[in-house]
Every structure is written in C-alpha cells, then in structure tokens.
Structure 1
C-alpha cells in the first residue's frame, strides 16, 4: 500500500504548509479562508484522535469525524491559552505557527502509530462504506429520513459557519483623533505660556470608518467655569482660532499586530493674546461642518448658539480634545 496508507495524514501536513504560504503571499485569497477553516476546525482534532486510536475497531468513522471537530474546538483554545503565558502572546503569527507545529508533529506520530497497528484504520470513502456505516439497508424509512435530515443539518451548519468566517462583519467604525506635544509624544504640551508666545502641537487623525471621510477640524479658545449652584457650564469667552482645516482620508484597517503608524498629522502653531486660564478646544466633524452664526463685533461667540458646540463636546456628543493653557502676562 506504501504511502497510500498514510494519504490523509500526509495531506494534512501538505495543506498546513500550503496555508502558511497562502497567508504569506495571498492573504486575501478565498483558498486561504476555506483552507483556514479546516486548519482550525478539523486538522488538530483529526491528527490527535488518529494518534490515540490508530486501530480500526477502536472507533467507527462517524465517531472519528465527530471527535475530530470536537477536539479541534478544544485544542485550539488550549494552544491559545498556552501562548498567553509566553512572550509572544495570543497573536496571529504565533498561533498560526503553533497550530502548524501541532498538526505536523501529531500527524508524524499518527503515521508511526498506524504503521505499527495490527489492524490500522485507513479512511477510504466510498458509497458502499458510507451505506454500511449508516446501516442504510437495514434502516426503516423513518430512520433513513432522520439520517438525511441530520446530514443536511450538518452540511447547512458547515456552510453557514464557512460563510460567516469568510464574510466577517466589518469591525467597529471609529476615528482616532489626538494631539501630541511638539516632540511627537504624549507629553510636553504647552500648558504654560506668556502673552503672544508661539506654541506648537501636533494634531493627528486616523480613519477607521470603513469609508472615505472628509474631516473638518475647528479650533476654539474658550474661557469657562463650572457653576456649582446650577450644575451647569458657563462659557464666558469663546473665540475662533486661526488654522481651521479639512482633510479627506481613506479608511485604514486597525493593525493590532504591528507597530502603530500615523495616517495624518499636522503641526499647529498658535499664540494667545490675553492672560488667564484658557482652554483650547479641537472639535472634529465628519463629512460636513456645522453652520456658525454671524461673527459678533468683538469676535466673542459666547453669547451665540456656537457655544453649544463646546457644551456638546463636554457631553461627549462631539468628538473633541482640549488643552488647558495658563497664559501669564
């Protein structure tokens, strides 16, 4: 019989190696997704149960099939749990390598166990063997109908699972909006300044909205206080600062494996010409920017409906950032 005696286990070794090649060179291919299902849901349990029970009389075909799926569902999380206590963690590449090693090692052990078995089990699928396994000839009409329904249910479940995995729902849509200090770090912000002193920060945006988005950034200089009596925010002064801008960005996927990289960043230099405790608010709008009322003679929008932008930002209904600045004479 030669190598034909081990055709199933050699096939699993070959397909496991092939999946690694597909992931490396053709990560978005349909073949990678289809093969990945078997790699996770069938191969680990199959090589494991074949290692444990190489003889024909130990288990019948249906039991081996069911245990292959069931054990795979148990083995994969256990490998992930083990990776969680290693420096690599539960990440895609370490998990792929670990499962590949598991499949190959146990397939090799299963080949050895089958070669020494006194009556080895070798899967040959023919209609006659399927009928014998199902005891088709001796079954009643009701049993035959129930068997057909069961097979259809299994095929439907596998098809549904395959579709869900190969056509995943898009992840949560969101936008990264951040400001950094002049050195590109989340520190050294210009929180203390003198009148007319120039200060620089970095404004960053990353689009994870799964579509092209035009972003509008408004920048306001605000003086406000909190009234403990009425539990309300009182805006005393609100001035538009120069440097408003808009930018259209394509969507980028969330990368949890590699190093984070910025998509759009812009240096913003500003100065404040009045002493006091101020807040510089950065408001982010998607696709369109709200209409502002006519500019007041003194430029202070605190007595106009524009103050609602800051109030909504405080509530969190407008995506925003703020920088507290103490301006000294």
Structure 2
C-alpha cells in the first residue's frame, strides 16, 4: 500500500489536504478555459465536452459545497433533527448543483449585461470561472474547520473497490453476465455520445451578404441607399458579411461600376471599372461590417454599382456570373 501511494506523499501538504471533489472542479474549470481559448483546441469537440458540465453543473456544485461542507447523514429515531446539522445526501447535492447552476449562470449574464464588457464569450467564461473558484476556496476552508469525521467527501475509493469486486469477483455466473452487459451498455452509450459530439450534424451552410445605410438616428437600416453621385465626391454604404458555413472562410468583396445596355434580364455590360477589393477572414458565426466610401469616376445615368462576394480565390475577371454572392445599386453620376 505504501508503494501504491508513495507518489501522493511527494505532493505539498495543502494539495494533499485539498478535497478531491473540489480539486476536480478546479481541474474541469481550467480544462474548459483551455478548450475555449487555446488555438487548435477551440475548434474541437472538447469545447462542448468540457463546456456543458462547466455551465450546467460545476458552478452550482461549488456553491452547494460552500453552503453544505458537512457530511450528509440521516438522524436516528432517538435523535432530534436540528436545522443545518444533518446536511444533505449525495443525491440532494447533485440535484441542487444542477438547479443552482441553472440559476447562477443567467444571473452572472444579467450582471454582465449592465457592464461595458457585455454578454460575450470571454466575460462569461471569466465570470463563471471566477465565481466557481471563489466558491471552491470558501468550501475548502469551511470543510477544514469541521472535524474530519463530519466533513463531506466523495467515497470514490469505496466505489472503485466495490466496482473492482463486482467485476473481477462476481458471486455467480449470472452476475458475471450482467456485469458484461452493463459494461457493454456503458461503452455503447459513451461511444454514441462521443460520435454525436465529434460529428455534429451541420445545419444549412450559407454566407449572408448585405448592404446597409445609417439613418438620422444612427441606426443601421436596409434602406435609403445613395442614388445620386457627383464625380469626384463620395457617398457611404456599409458592407456586411455573416459566416454560417460551419468553417473559417476567406472572403473578398470586389466593388465594380458598370455601364450596361438593355432592360431586365437582357442586359450587357459595355464598360466595367473595378473600384476596390476588400478582404476579411471570418470563423463560423462571426459577422463583419465595414463602412465603405464609393467614389465613382465613370459618369452617366443608370450605372450599376456592383458588390461581388467571393469565398476563396477571386477569378481573373470577376463578374456577376462567377461570384458567390452579388449585390448592386442603380446610380446616376453627374
């Protein structure tokens, strides 16, 4: 036994005294932060694997641990029940952890909504992590103040020993078969969950491409686009892209001014002038907006101001036909 636990004695005493369940909470909090922020990890299923328990269980468990540091027990018939002395059992602790997490995380989001940081990924992760670590510290100190026999602890060693006995030393053949079936069921369940997390069903893939203007109140609207231009003077529009392609995409916007002949779908370009090219890279779910000043040099009536969106390399001759998305405005230039 001494050989099995010799490595444990090499750790500093405060770490050895730290409750195992609270240490697991700290480790999961750190792993979640790494999975969310580290390049290379944040694009993997680990972000979901650690993120779900981090949001739905961990902060509530730490808070409940701070409220109830004592071991749960059921009073005997001769014992008078005193409020706050009998603690809570493991099932109640787990149920409260889920309930408190569902209450705590939205409250933290509500507080962030009234701060300059707002409800964004980084403030949410930092606030939930800070609350969890603070609750863990309080819970650890409250447990250390209690006698050893009254402190709450997860009997993981008893569970491991019991599981080892049930698996390796079954009472009869029936128990052995049931153990095999249970093990296969657990492996199948974990495999199904792992496959669902590792291979999520992507929704519809598309890129949203739009033009906006700013009204008198400073709000962005899809209206009141500039129609009348003077050669050498500029008018502004706001170009927007939203990536829903479920992958990172390199976008390029090609701005052209075209003189066309014909009506309706029967039009042909007689003169084309490229005004600008704008490039940006967006991850899935990210949005990009930029104010763009249009300064046409071609004059005439019924000119077509065209915005061509490409998701990758731009062809040698960008046209409406080979663009991924296309927007245009009809303008007059004096």
TM-score range, shorter chain: 0.5 to 0.7
Does 1:28 find its partner at 2:32? no
1:111-150 aligned at under 5 Å gives the runs: 111-115=140-144, 116=146, 119-126=150-157, 127-130=160-163, 141=175, 148=183
Displacement after TM superposition at 1:216 (Å): 5.8
Contact 1:46–1:68 (CA<8 Å) still a contact in 2?
yes
> Out of 7, 11, 24, which is 2:20 matched to?
7
Match of 2:304 in 1: 280
Match of 2:228 in 1: 192
The whole-number CA distance in structure 2 between the counterparts of 1:147 and 1:192 is 75
Summarize deviations over 1:72-123 as a string: whole Å, max 9, x none: 7624652455246423432112211221122112212322443326522212
Contact 2:210–2:240 (CA<8 Å) still a contact in 1?
yes
Return 5+ residue gaps in structure 1 as ranges.
225-232, 292-305, 311-316
TM-score by length of 2: 0.56
SS of structure 1 residue aligned to 2:154: coil
The whole-number CA distance in structure 2 between the counterparts of 1:9 and 1:85 is 29
> Out of 150, 159, 162, which is 2:194 matched to?
159
1:20-59 aligned at under 5 Å gives the runs: 20=33, 26-29=38-41, 33=47, 35-53=50-68, 54-57=70-73
Displacement after TM superposition at 1:243 (Å): 0.9
The whole-number CA distance in structure 2 between the counterparts of 1:179 and 1:241 is 26
Q: CA separation of 1:207/1:215 partners in 2, compared to 1, >3 Å: closer, same or farther?
A: farther
The whole-number CA distance in structure 2 between the counterparts of 1:160 and 1:65 is 30
Match of 2:127 in 1: 98
Displacement after TM superposition at 1:254 (Å): 6.0
The whole-number CA distance in structure 2 between the counterparts of 1:214 and 1:103 is 43
Q: CA separation of 1:248/1:318 partners in 2, compared to 1, >3 Å: closer, same or farther?
A: closer
The whole-number CA distance in structure 1 between the counterparts of 2:45 and 2:251 is 32
Does 1:320 find its partner at 2:332? no
> Out of 297, 304, 307, which is 1:270 matched to?
297
The whole-number CA distance in structure 2 between the counterparts of 1:154 and 1:324 is 61
Displacement after TM superposition at 1:22 (Å): 6.9
The whole-number CA distance in structure 2 between the counterparts of 1:119 and 1:92 is 39
Match of 1:86 in 2: 114
Contact 2:258–2:273 (CA<8 Å) still a contact in 1?
no
The whole-number CA distance in structure 1 between the counterparts of 2:328 and 2:270 is 15
Match of 2:258 in 1: 220
Match of 2:273 in 1: 243
Contact 1:217–1:283 (CA<8 Å) still a contact in 2?
yes
The whole-number CA distance in structure 2 between the counterparts of 1:11 and 1:66 is 15
Match of 2:95 in 1: 67
SS of structure 2 residue aligned to 1:174: strand
